[in-house]
Amino acid sequence: MTPATASERIGRTREQMAERLAQDIADGSYVNLGIGIPELVAKYVPVGREVVYHTENGLLGMGPSPAEGSEDPELINAGKRHVTVNPGGSFFHHADSFAMIRGGHIDLCVLGALQIAANGDLANWSTGAPDAIPAVGGAMDLVAGVKKVFAITQHTTKTGEPKLVPACTYPLTGLGVIDRVYTDLAVIDITPDGFRLVELSPGVEFGYVQERTGAPLLQP
Partner 1 sequence: MIDKRVGSPSEAVADVFDGATIMVGGFGEAGSPVELIHALIDQGATDLTVVSNNTGSGEVGLAALLKAGRVSKVVCSFPRTANSTVFPELYRAGKTKLELVPQGTLAERIRAGGAGIPAFYTATAVGTPLAEGKEQRTFDGREFILEHGLRADFALVKAKSADTHGNTIYNKTARNFGPPMAMASNVAIVQAEQIVEPGGIDPEIVVSPGIFIDRVVEVASPVHESELVAAGATYP
Q: Write out the residues near partner 1 by the rule CB under 8 A.
A: 55-59, 72-77, 80, 85, 91-95, 97-99, 101-102, 121, 126, 131, 133-141, 144-145, 171-175
Contact predicate 195/163, CB 8 Å: no
Shortest CB 133 distance to partner 1, Å? 5
Q: Which is nearer to partner 1, 110 or 185 (CB)?
A: 110
Q: Which is nearer to partner 1, 141 or 184 (CB)?
A: 141
**Integer CA distances (angstroms), 197 to 7, 83, 140, 153, 216, in order:** 20, 36, 26, 15, 10
Q: Between residues 57 and 153, which has the closer beta carbon with respect to partner 1?
A: 57
User: 15, 39, 50, 56: which is the annotated catalytic residue?
Assistant: 56
Give the angle 58-182-202 at the CA atoms, nearest 5°.
Answer: 140
Task: Give least dist CB 103 to partner 1, A.
Answer: 10
56 catalytic, yes or no? yes
> Alpha-carbon Rg of the chain, whole angstroms?
18
In the bound state with partner 1, the residue whose beta carbon lies nearer, of 72 and 211, is 72
Measure the N-to-C terminal CA separation of the chain; round to a whole number of Å.
34
Closest contact distance (angstroms) between CB of 217 and partner 1 is: 24
User: Computed from CA positions of residues 17, 22, 23, 25, in that sequence, does the dihedral angle turn out positive or negative?
Assistant: positive
In the complex, the smallest distance separating the C-beta of residue 138 from partner 1, rounded to whole angstroms, is 4
What gap in Å lies between CA 150 and CA 41, rounded to an integer?
Answer: 12
Residues marked as catalytic: 56
